[in-house]
Chain A
Amino acid sequence: MELCSFLTLDSFITDPLTHDFMRKALLMSSLVAAVCGFLSSYLTLKGWALMGDAVSHSVMPGVVVAYALGLPFSLGAFIFGVGSVTLIGFIKQKSRVKEDTVIGLVFTGFFALGIVLVSKIKSNIDLHSILFGSPLGISLSDVKQTIFISLLVVILLSIFRKDLMLYCFDPRHAKTVGINVFFLHYLLLTCLSLAAVVGLQSVGIILVVAMLITPGATAYLLTDKFDNMTIISVLNAIISSLIGIYISFWFDLETGGSIVLAQTFIFLFAFLFAPRYGIFKLKKFFAGYKS
């Protein structure tokens, strides 16, 4: 019985691997986590958490329309993701309403449109799997698409790694030395939309923003070097995904929720015990202990 078998760590890890769907879920979720984790460092430093929330919710109608038309869902998601941000910028510029209010009202509008469309368009879209993710039920075509998008985002972020860091840190200097800030802005947005698309498969639209901000926030508490922050963020995201999926398998819990909870717990741990920036500042504690 299951209860007995996870008493040993060995079978806790290996048993799920005997299932084809579990192997696929673990692999895909790790890949998605890596992509989101990579991007997460930039979003955290740029202060784009709310933007991540907005884009990830706004892709909903795009996904639905694309499914209905038989197009790749990533295309629809991408159009609506970037569209929402453009609309936010436009309304902010043309009205006196404050930015966070505009972001809130635009993305909820898009999200609502998505929900209405799902109920209206006759298709085999499973609302539940869009909202909450379904890493255990990824189809083969989805796998291909996810791999393609993930590689694309990773390649783009790798090429423009330093430029994006500069853009987050000091856009004015970037502009002064002739770097195309406009391009970088939209590059980051594009990657955000694409990451939201792949992320929604493992944790769903509602929680995908956690994949995009929590790993970066955790890493930010643990290091003062940008490269290390990226590495920690990616590893943290992957490990959380694996933990989340295993936990959900053994305890029969919602997978997306488990993954995000794992990330949240790791963040809390860093928040309390990070050597320099944690509440308990372990580094100081040990330094004091030694002397």
Chain B
Amino acid sequence: MESINYQNFRIDAENICVDYNGKVALYDANLRLKPGQICGLVGMNGAGKTTFFNALTGFVNISKGKIRINGESVRSAQKDQTIAYVPQSEGIDSQFPINVWDVVMMGRYGSMNIFRCPRESDVQAVKDAIERVDLTDDLSTPIGNLSGGQRKRTFLARAIAQRASILLLDEPFSGVDIRTEKLISELFIQFKNEGKTILLSTHDMIHVREFCDLVLLINKTVVAYGETSEVFTPENITTTFGGISPDFLFGPES
């Protein structure tokens, strides 16, 4: 067996467990991702997808196991702006009085001084990011006036502006228009070429086959993990979704 160099892995989660006041949300979960890999996180509601994300970002503490990001602790990954989290649409108060520019600028907060005064470079990063998601015409639009797809792109721009090397995306394709979906999939290819590591949760099995090199099937713990072509089998999917056949979930395979 070849020896493992932890530096090679962007994300290295080893036997992690998370519990909320004694209630187990995730146990013995493992995940290893390298630069340029895109991994789909698939599971039922309540299977621990969001918990997995929360553990990687340090939003919840793990009760067991170890997480290394680029070989370092989660804490130092936070300091280095390594991880960007793109929230689910439902996780955001869309009525919050804030516009596109200010949301994207939040991606730069971690590297600013205590007063969060934008420097020239921050302004440039925000401009570039907004351009990449094609929202240049909506700089000062309040997020409440955006469509679901535009709002999704705003948060994607925030992650781009952060210049993170790891992107965690919670249901990036839910509730978005075709144009946004196309734009996101183009961005994924660019991210991959830039060597970014992407972990995305999704309900849509077609997206997994389309974008993901790897897939992680979870149901409180890892059901299966590996190359999409090998792991993403009807049997594994059935196990992940508690015995419901994939035909029932996404129609008969063509």
Chain A positions within 8 Å of B, measured between CB atoms, are: 45, 93-94, 159, 162-163, 165-166, 168-179, 220, 223-226, 228-229
Contacts and interface: CB of A to CB of B under 8 A. Distances in A.
Interface stretch (B77-85, B184-192, B199-207, B212-220): B77-85
Interface residues of B, number: 35
Contacts of A177: 78, 81, 107, 109-111, 162
Contacts of A168: 96
A172 B92 CA distance: 10
Contacts of A228: 97
B92 A170 contact: yes
Contacts of A172: 54, 57, 59, 85, 87, 91
Contact of A166 (B91, B92, B109, B111): B109
Contact of A224 (B81, B97, B116, B162): B97
Contacts of A163: 109, 116
Interface of B: 21, 54, 57-59, 75, 78-81, 83-85, 87, 91-93, 96-99, 102, 106-107, 109-111, 114-116, 142, 144-145, 158, 162
Contacts, number: 79
Contacts of B81: 177-178
B115 to A, nearest CB: 7
A216 to B, nearest CB: 11
Contact of B114 (A159, A224, A225): A159
Nearest to A176: B57
Sorted nearest first, the 8 A-B pairs with minimum C-beta distance are: A177-B110, A178-B78, A224-B142, A162-B116, A176-B57, A178-B79, A176-B85, A224-B97
Contact of A220 (B58, B97, B114, B162): B97
Contacts of B84: 176
20 contacts: A45-B96, A45-B97, A162-B116, A169-B92, A172-B57, A172-B59, A173-B85, A176-B59, A177-B81, A177-B109, A177-B111, A177-B162, A178-B75, A178-B79, A178-B81, A178-B110, A225-B97, A226-B96, A226-B102, A228-B97
A226 B116 contact: no
Nearest to A177: B110
B115 A173 contact: no
Given A159-B114, A173-B85, A226-B97, A179 B109 contact: yes
Given A45-B96, A162-B116, A229-B97, A175 B59 contact: yes
B97 A223 contact: yes
Contacts of B85: 172-173, 176
